[in-house]
Amino acid sequence: QVHLVESGGGLVQAGGSLRLSCVASGHTFSALPMGWFRQTPGNEREFVAAITWSGKSTLYSDSVKGRFIISRDNAKNILYVQMNSLKSEDTAVYYCARGGSDPGVPRPMDYWGTGTLVTVSS
């Protein structure tokens, strides 16, 4: 079992920055990609960003590309996303997740955190 806990959410003014963290614990030995997703009430959870285990490759949603930066520290089992130039539409509950071993397209995620709320005021 893998446990993921997000932190760093809060209230921020539009144009500001925020960094979210996701700490993994438990069985965290697999070299798998991880990602960030977000969800607002009444909407489906959407993909935000993903990163390979090595950190060499990253993928971003068009809505956040150029503003968000995903990174990871495998030694500390922490996933990050630096969010810059925040917009009101970025307001959502953000979740981190670990990719499963099945390399599907899109790739299934097998473990999820419980989320951290980001509210961007305008």
Percent of the chain with pLDDT over 70: 98
Mean pLDDT of 72-85: 95
Backbone angles phi, psi at 88, to 5 degrees: -60, -35
Confidence of residue 104 (pLDDT cuts 50, 70, 90): confident
Q: Is the peptide bond before 106 cis (omega within 30 degrees of 0)?
A: yes
Which among 41, 59, 62, 63 is positioned nearest to 50, based on CA atoms? 59
And the tokens for 92?
């959502």
pLDDT digits (tens, 9 = 90+) for 14-62: 999 999 999 999 887 668 999 999 999 999 999 999 999 999 999 999 9
Q: What local confidence, expressed as pLDDT, does residue 1 receive?
A: 86
**Average pLDDT for the chain:** 94
**3-class DSSP assignment, residue 83:** strand
Would you call 89 helix, strand, or coil by DSSP?
helix
What pLDDT sits at residue 42? 93
Contacts (Cβ under 8 Å, ≥6 apart) of 93: 9, 38, 39, 40, 115, 116, 117, 118
Contacts of 9 (CB under 8 A, 6+ apart): 18, 20, 93, 94, 116, 117, 118, 119
pLDDT for the residue numbered 37: 98
What is the model's pLDDT at position 29?
Answer: 60
